[in-house]
Structure 1
Amino acid sequence: MLRLSLALACLLAPPAYAQMRLAEGELPLGLVDARLLPGWTDAAGNRIAALELVLEPGWKTYWRSPGDSGLPPSFAWDGSDNLAGVVFHWPAPEAISSGGAQELGYHEHLVLPFTASPTDAALPLTLHSQIELGLCDNICVPAQLDLSAPPPGTLPDSRIKAAMADTPRLVEDLPECRIDAIEDGLRVEMALPSETPELAAIEVEGKPDLWVSGAEIEMRADGPVAVAEMVGPEAAPFPLDPSALRLTVVSADDAVESFGCRLSP
């Protein structure tokens, strides 16, 4: 079934978020605590730090690619000093219920590690971030945070190391895939490496203007397959390089991801 109307709706607006005005210093509804963990500086001069969110019981927040209509977090780094770039290390996502649909995210507590690279490794690197994200229980609220990290510690933080250990492991074997044109975009199928997948996500690197549906897992005779639809601004088929596809698969005892795929003959 084509998803044009849903895709356009999601491109234009996030889910129905309750709007509310916050007093200065007040946390958004659903959040108990939000901070940047100071982390440490590695041998190359990079800062290893993390965003930590503590949510009210029952509340959820979203992964980087949550599904059909979730609101992924976004980060700006205005006010940081000596910062060249940031790379996030996303822990394996969990299934969350958002507005009656299954999305991908985290329940009640999130430590999201990142590596901050300095412009000059000989100078101090300070971190200040403006963060927008969605928080959901029976309703969804937009959260806007303005956080600064304390100076880095001298030893690695066990909370950050544990979250980094929970990131999906990279597999180099490329999955087989199939890319077909549909009326308003593309349908992508990717073979899954696990025989018992619980969650899957298909992303496209370098195409932020694409709407990508949540991946549905289909159990077939030759193994499980993740299926997603993609719609661009033109609402028409478009060329897609298979090497731009990113697959994440979560099973009961493992989480893996791969970059690129082999087109089925």
Structure 2
Amino acid sequence: MTRIFLTLLALIGGLSAPVLAQSDDSILRAELRPGWRLADGDHMAALHLTMAPGWKTYWRAPGDAGIPPLFDWSGSRNAKTVAVSWPTPEVFFQSGMRSVGYSPEVVLPLRISTRGSGQDVRLRGQVQLGVCKDICVPKTLRLDAVLPAAQTKVDPVIAAALASVPFSATEAAVRSVRCTIGAKDGAMTLRAEIDMPARGAMDAVIETANPEVWVAEPKTTQSGGRIVAETRMMHVDGGAFALDRSGVRITLLGKGQAVDIRGCDK
């Protein structure tokens, strides 16, 4: 299958000399898989990242030890929105800190909502991400590619990545999600009790709809047949804030499986 190669540009500010001596090819290889046009007029493409042995990059919520990826598609044409699908990530522990991401490679499907279903898409923009081993190297991927409307053959690599995204709450037979809010040591606390069939040991990642709210790494336990995740939250400016329970997103990560839960029942 034809692949469109991206231009990699390292952001070198503040990096040490040994890192500057390394080429992008020695750490990270990136490709845009052009994908195919869907029956509803959307286009499915993907960003394929391959890291050197021992290196990793990060999930949308990378943990305190990670670098969150940022996407800017503002230069694109015939693209209303670009939605990233996140395959099930791994949990890494280093120096007592947890991060969430991918190693040694990841395929990130990109579903592009088009303005004209019969027209090609020009996908143009940049992706900022961190690639880490013993140190972290920030990268900017600049891309400019035409995705043809006439291409309808499914890319099996992208299809496999789509198949590995976390289960929804419905698919995982989640029965209820009860969230209790409190306060401790100047921070808001959240206790989420998730009633669902047992899936073995799982770690929780909790996000909110407000990007200015910091969420601590949850403590995840199993009690009375339920998964319990407890965390603390603070606004980045230290002020008070209201928590929208419907915007709470809980991802449970287990060995080779994950569950994506949107919102609390009460």
What is the TM-score with the length of structure 1 in the denominator?
A: 0.83
Q: Residues 194 and 55 from structure 1, CA distance in 2 versus in 1: closer, same or farther, beyond 3 angstroms? A: farther
Q: What is the aligned partner in structure 2 of residue 197 from structure 1?
A: 201
Return the match for 1:148 from 144, 151, 164. Answer: 144
Q: Return the structure number with greater relative CO, CA threshold 8 A, min gap 6.
A: 1
SS at structure 1 position matched to 2:243: coil
**Alignment of 1:157 onto 2:160:** no
Q: Residues 162 and 229 from structure 1, CA distance in 2 versus in 1: closer, same or farther, beyond 3 angstroms? A: same
Q: Residues 253 and 144 from structure 1, CA distance in 2 versus in 1: closer, same or farther, beyond 3 angstroms? A: closer
Contact residue 121 and residue 146 of structure 2 kept, 8 A? no
Q: What is the aligned partner in structure 1 of residue 169 from structure 2?
A: 171
**Alignment of 1:111 onto 2:107:** yes
Is there any run of 5+ residues in structure 2 with no aligned partner, and where?
Answer: 1-13
Q: Residues 98 and 83 from structure 1, CA distance in 2 versus in 1: closer, same or farther, beyond 3 angstroms? A: farther
1: CA distance, partners of 2:197 / 2:61: 20
1: CA distance, partners of 2:65 / 2:216: 8
**Alignment of 1:244 onto 2:247:** yes
Per-residue CA distance 1:179-206 (angstroms, 9 max, x = gap):
112344311121243542332111112x
User: Partner letter of residue 183 of structure 2?
Assistant: A
User: Partner letter of residue 188 of structure 1?
Assistant: L
Q: Residues 179 and 164 from structure 1, CA distance in 2 versus in 1: closer, same or farther, beyond 3 angstroms? A: same
Shift of 1:54: 0.4
SS at structure 2 position matched to 1:18: coil
Return the match for 2:61 from 32, 48, 65. Answer: 65
Contact residue 39 and residue 156 of structure 1 kept, 8 A? yes
User: Partner letter of residue 96 of structure 1?
Assistant: F
Per-residue CA distance 1:121-180 (angstroms, 9 max, x = gap):
232211122011111111111111112345343301101000000001111444112111
Identity across matched positions, percent: 36
2: CA distance, partners of 1:242 / 1:78: 31
Contact residue 107 and residue 158 of structure 2 kept, 8 A? yes
Contact residue 19 and residue 141 of structure 1 kept, 8 A? no
Q: Residues 135 and 96 from structure 1, CA distance in 2 versus in 1: closer, same or farther, beyond 3 angstroms? A: same
**Alignment of 1:40 onto 2:36:** yes
Contact residue 94 and residue 104 of structure 1 kept, 8 A? yes
User: Partner letter of residue 27 of structure 1?
Assistant: D
Contact residue 18 and residue 142 of structure 1 kept, 8 A? no
Q: What is the aligned partner in structure 2 of residue 6 from structure 1?
A: none
1: CA distance, partners of 2:127 / 2:20: 15
Shift of 1:78: 3.6
Q: How many residues end up aligned between the 2 structures?
A: 244
Is there any run of 5+ residues in structure 1 with no aligned partner, and where?
Answer: 1-16
2: CA distance, partners of 1:93 / 1:62: 8
**Alignment of 1:84 onto 2:80:** yes
Q: Residues 222 and 180 from structure 1, CA distance in 2 versus in 1: closer, same or farther, beyond 3 angstroms? A: farther
Return the match for 2:134 from 131, 134, 138. Answer: 138
Return the match for 1:227 from 227, 230, 243. Answer: 230
Q: What is the aligned partner in structure 1 of residue 265 from structure 2?
A: 262
Q: Residues 119 and 150 from structure 1, CA distance in 2 versus in 1: closer, same or farther, beyond 3 angstroms? A: closer
What is the TM-score with the length of structure 2 in the denominator?
A: 0.82
Shift of 1:71: 1.0
